[in-house]
Amino acid sequence: MRRIDWSKLDADGRRAALARPQRRTEGFVTGVVRDIFDDVQARGGAAVNDWARKLDGAAPRRIAVTEAAAAQARRDLPPAAARALRVAADNIRVFHEATRPVDSPFVETTPGVKSRLVWRPIGSAGIYVPGGTAPLFSSLLMQAVPAGVAGVARRVAVTPPAKDGSVHPAMIAAAAEAGLEELWLLGGAQAVAALTFGVELDDGVIAPVDKLFGPGNAYVAEAKRYASALPGGPTADMPAGPSELLVIADRDADFEIVAADLLSQAEHDADAQVILVSDSGTALTEILAEVERQVETLPRAEIARASLAEARAVRVRDMAEACEVADLYGPEHLSIQAEDAEALVSRITAAGAVFVGGWAAETLGDYAAGPSHVLPTDGAARTLGGITTASFMTTMSVQTVSEKGAAALAPVAAALARMEGLEAHARAADLRSAG
């Protein structure tokens, strides 16, 4: 991790200090994604098959999530693991049911003119579940469960197969907990292209979806962005690329815990980024030493070290400046391990999820606390939030007008329409006021 003294940097230096890894935005990623999309649009399922064999190492495969398949998957898991999946699914469901948007009451802005907002589920959702180096079945729960709570009629989940073409039983068990009927073993930009255009494959049909969801590597993140820019293409939830964690720690933080939290994100992949911010030079030194001690024993030490090469340890004047650094970075995950951590939350305006105090491990949020762990990355937290039930819904305004209301409001609307030179608008209003 590179140490930085914030007070010695100018504005450009500060932006550079908090820059994301360059690999995330390298031009060849866009080129590869465009090639895959062009091919899938032209050749359909045949192209998806070819790219899947080349990049996933196996042809796409549909897993039917039947009661029998779910029961077998649970038997293949240690009993404690199967119970943990159920607890996580239940907690996620409880949280999203409690926070599901409800229709607003009518608001009468003019006597006889009433309006309200109503919520409706989207028709279909494409759910991308990262895999590859590790099967992230938790991401399936964090998306498919709130989509189900929202009432989405068609949920299509895709995930890369294991290197041998198989699927981890936990993925099938998680799909069953979420109420899915099928799971496609298909990853990368080719999976996003299949969800975008719709394709016919040997195992069945993937119909195009209305909206794309899920985290992924640089190729998946670019594929979602590219798909949403196509004419008539699906929308996308947010930039949700490689993982990020910023930890604010003071001299009273538990240095062992802080180091463990940093490494918990660094081990995701080489493009993950972790940043440590502290007003104590001693804390920085001790935490960095602890990181070195712990990384030695990690099974994914090589990946973690590659991530740490892009990590930063930032010295600030005080906790107020630490919060300013956090907002400038806009992290996916923010952990505050400092005295009066709860008070510092009021200073934060840009973070996907905030974990308050030493007991609030980001890992708990990753798996089982309840809120979805699919969160904005690359600074998008400055304008976007993470996945909620509302992410799978749309709003419509509903307006009802009585004769009395029309008579009162139509002259106002007609006058404004004529000011804009829209005579037909004005006449449509006039007809209501004349009645």
Query: What positions carry a catalytic annotation?
Result: 332-333
Q: How far is CA 433 from CA 398, 399, 421, 423, 429, in A?
A: 21, 17, 19, 15, 7
Q: How far is CA 330 from CA 26, 134, 254, 314, in A?
A: 21, 26, 24, 15
| Pure H helices in 44-78 | 45-51, 67-76
| Pure H helices in 378-419 | 403-419
Element (H, E) at 158: strand 154-159
Closest CA to 217 of 185, 253, 191: 191
d(C-alpha 249, C-alpha 267), whole Å? 20
Directed axis angle between helix 67-76 and helix 169-177, to 10°? 130
The structure tokens 């993470």 sit at 386
How is residue 159 written in tokens? 């995930």
d(C-alpha 173, C-alpha 89), whole Å? 11
d(C-alpha 185, C-alpha 418), whole Å? 58
Q: Does residue 351 contact residue 326 with C-beta atoms inside 8 Å? A: yes
200 strand-pairing partners:
205
- Pairing type for strands 107-110 and 113-121 reads antiparallel
d(C-alpha 138, C-alpha 364), whole Å? 11
Q: Which amino acid is at 38?
A: D
The CA angle 26-52-201, to the nearest 5 degrees, is: 135
Task: Report the number of secondary-structure helices (H) and strands (E) in the chain.
Answer: 17, 17
Strand order in the sheet with 393-401: 107-110, 113-121, 393-401
Element (H, E) at 140: helix 137-150
d(C-alpha 435, C-alpha 425), whole Å? 16
